[in-house]
Amino acid sequence: METATMTQTQVTARPLRRERRRMKTAWAVMEALVREGVEVIFGVPGGASLPLYDALCDYPQIRHVLVRHEQCAIHMAEGYARATGKPGVCFTTSGPGATNLVTGLTDAMMDSTPVVAITGQVPTFFMGGDAFQEADVIGLTMSVTKHNWLVRKPAQAPEAVHMAFRLATDGRPGPTLVDLPRDVLLTEADFVLEDPEAFSLPRPRPPFPDERTLRQAADLIAQSQRPILYVGGGVIHSGAAPEIRALAEKARIPVTTTLMGLGAFPEDHPYALKMLGMHGTVYANFAINFSDLIIAVGARFDDRVTGKLSAFAPHAKVIHIDIDPAEINKNRRADVALIGDAKQILRALLPLVRPPDTEAWWRQIEDWKARYPLRYRQGDDVIKPQFAIQMIYELTKDDRPIVTLDVGQHQMWAAQFFTWTEPRTCITSGGLGTMGFSLPAAVGAQFGRPDRLVININGDGSFQMTFQALITAVEWRLPIKVFVINNQYLGMVRQWQELFYNRRYSAVYLANPDFARMAEAVGAAGIRVERPDQVEPAIRQALTITDRPVVVDILVDPEENCFPMIPSGMTVFDMMIAPGVKAVP
């Protein structure tokens, strides 16, 4: 087997002047990708995309990572994008190759992740006639991309590629797709190869908020008694973490983040309330619901945060800062809307801000914090999942890892029991909740950040959805640490069945294979952990393995539940801290 390593090729910067060249379209596409600074592409080849793969041979500065399923390719592209802020790129063939992207595109759309998908298509003269491996990729992906392009003529190809990159990162980031028919890819033409700067989007930008509106926001802050900063993923896209901190400190305002916002405000800061929402902390949920002013920054009032919308934070005015005008008044009416990039808006707002008197508010919050810390009880026999996760955190925190989380209970426990301090270190599927996201996302993150420790916290169910990404990680010798929080259940679903469906467990038990041996079989290291005292040594051992991925299969208490929990569609007064026990403000 040919083994490729992370350091195999250095990206050689070459001067990218405006140039006229005669070449086949596939080569012009590669030129455009080089000009966009693409260093790695995740994909699988096939008939319709053969010309692209042929051209790839002439561009050794771009690494191609062969995946075992296109869903892995796009989640890798997402992981790369989330870790670096640069768009991730994937290649597929037509038909099944392209349709395998749909889940990942939807995931990227929901979580505002910039990715560019390049798909092969059947030749134009076959299109519309049910040709072999034809799928209406433009139609299929219209609702899950910001825009998609079908390239019918060679000259349109470089422009479509460049525009796909512009749009993926413009404003609210998201996925784009370029569909390239095989005959177009093979056609030779005269191309004008441009600098990416030459392409701009023909779209008006909303004007920056005027002084009067900014003052209104500053006045609301000054007049508030119980303000709270509700910080979301938009702050991470914007790079506005320092401004959030400056605002919080200047005005002495507590900060809670969404799942997508974890890392946007350091949770070791005294003003941090950690995550809010369905499985957020009791104190964050009380604080936002009893607040009189919500400053929402890059957060979209998702139902996992608000619960029953009509009862959510009933006494609060809202300052809503978001780059997407369509988010304003979508779920919650804004008293002051500031449309634009969070960093720029906060910078303009900061000098106008006058600190409100929050003494009494802070006493209240400290009381909630003291009464309702996050907790679990670890005994001698079974491993509590929270304990395992906390150990992973404690033993890796000094390495400042990038952590990918899958979907389910383990995701929520990791959100709760890690102390998130840095943007782009928590990478998870929030909006779509795509099981199987995290392992390929870890691979993508490691390609984007070869300098950082990458950890994957996975569920036993989720791990089996995209296990094959491990094979790619082995091939590239990526030293990713995979921790499977193995409760032998689709735990989150089991929890709902226990709590809301009278314990009638239906299709949630997982008859699992031995994950450690599965890992060994594909060339990764495998460690199985069954007792509490084995957890720490196993994690330490995993951290010493640096020439290949390692899977640590941690068997945990199968029926542990994730609390706090505000049941779907309910209010903060229904917040459970144990089965049948509600938190009292």
Ligand X SMILES: Cc1ncc(C[n+]2csc(CCOP(=O)(O)OP(=O)(O)O)c2C)c(N)n1
Residues that bind ligand FAD (CB under 6 A): 111-112, 172, 232-234, 237-238, 258-261, 275-280, 298-300, 302, 304-305, 322-324, 327, 341-342, 407, 411-412, 430-431, 433, 492
**Token pair of 541 as six digits:** 């051992």
Nearer to ligand FAD, 133 or 238 (CB): 238
Confirm or reject binding of residue 334 to another protein (CB under 8 A).
yes
Please give the C-alpha separations between residue 427 and each of 9, 297, 405, 477, in angstroms, as whole numbers.
26, 19, 6, 21
3-state secondary structure of 137: helix
Q: Any idea which residue has 């996760």 for tokens? A: 389
Residue 431 contact, options Mg ion, ligand FAD, another protein, none, Cβ 5-8 Å cut-off depending on partner type: ligand FAD
Minimal distance, residue 488 CB to Mg ion, in Å: 7
| Residues 339-368 interacting with ligand X (rule: CB under 6 A) | none
Nearer to ligand X, 82 or 494 (CB): 494
Minimal distance, residue 471 CB to ligand FAD, in Å: 26
Q: What is the DSSP pairing of strand 481-486 with strand 550-555?
A: parallel
Contact present, 131 and 91 (Cβ < 8 Å): no
- DSSP designation for 198: G
Confirm or reject binding of residue 250 to another protein (CB under 8 A).
no
Dihedral sign, Cα of residue 320, residue 325, residue 327, residue 330: positive
Nearer to ligand FAD, 258 or 438 (CB): 258
Among 193, 247, 273, 407, binds ligand X (CB under 6 A): 407
Q: x/- string (CB under 8 A) for another protein, residues 190-229?
A: -----------xxxxxxx----------------------
Minimal distance, residue 201 CB to another protein, in Å: 8
- Taking the C-alpha atoms of residue 454 and residue 150, their distance in angstroms, rounded to an integer, is 36
Nearer to ligand X, 276 or 415 (CB): 415
| Residues 68-127 interacting with another protein (rule: CB under 8 A) | none
Among 336, 551, 555, 576, binds another protein (CB under 8 A): 336
Count other C-beta atoms under 10 Å from residue 372's C-beta.
20
Please give the C-alpha separations between residue 258 and each of 16, 236, 237, in angstroms, as whole numbers.
41, 11, 14
Helix (H), strand (E) counts: the chain: 23, 22
- Taking the C-alpha atoms of residue 181 and residue 131, their distance in angstroms, rounded to an integer, is 12
Residue 435 contact, options Mg ion, ligand FAD, ligand X, none, Cβ 5-8 Å cut-off depending on partner type: ligand X
Pick from 449, 453, 375: nearest CA to 416: 375
Nearer to ligand FAD, 484 or 490 (CB): 490
- Taking the C-alpha atoms of residue 301 and residue 327, their distance in angstroms, rounded to an integer, is 9
DSSP one-letter string for 505-550: --S-B-----HHHHHHHTTSEEEEE-SHHHHHHHHHHHHH--SS-E
Residue 260 contact, options Mg ion, ligand X, ligand FAD, none, Cβ 5-8 Å cut-off depending on partner type: ligand FAD
Nearer to another protein, 216 or 364 (CB): 216
3-state secondary structure of 344: helix
Among 123, 325, 433, 567, binds another protein (CB under 8 A): 325
Q: Any idea which residue has 């400190």 for tokens? A: 249
- b (16+ CB within 10 A) / e for 425-458: bbbbbbbbbbbbbbbbbbbbbbbbbeebbbbbbb
Binding residues for another protein, total number by CB under 8 A: 27
Q: Any idea which residue has 């134009």 for tokens? A: 124
Confirm or reject binding of residue 466 to ligand X (CB under 6 A).
no
Minimal distance, residue 88 CB to another protein, in Å: 21
| Residues 445-484 interacting with Mg ion (rule: CB under 5 A) | 459-461
Q: x/- string (CB under 6 A) for ligand X, residues 476-505?
A: ---------x-x-xxxxx------------
Minimal distance, residue 328 CB to another protein, in Å: 5
Minimal distance, residue 483 CB to another protein, in Å: 37
Confirm or reject binding of residue 435 to ligand X (CB under 6 A).
yes
What is the contact surface with ligand X in residues (CB under 6 A)? Answer: 406-410, 433-435, 459-462, 485, 487, 489-493
What is the contact surface with Mg ion in residues (CB under 5 A)? Answer: 459-461, 487, 489, 491
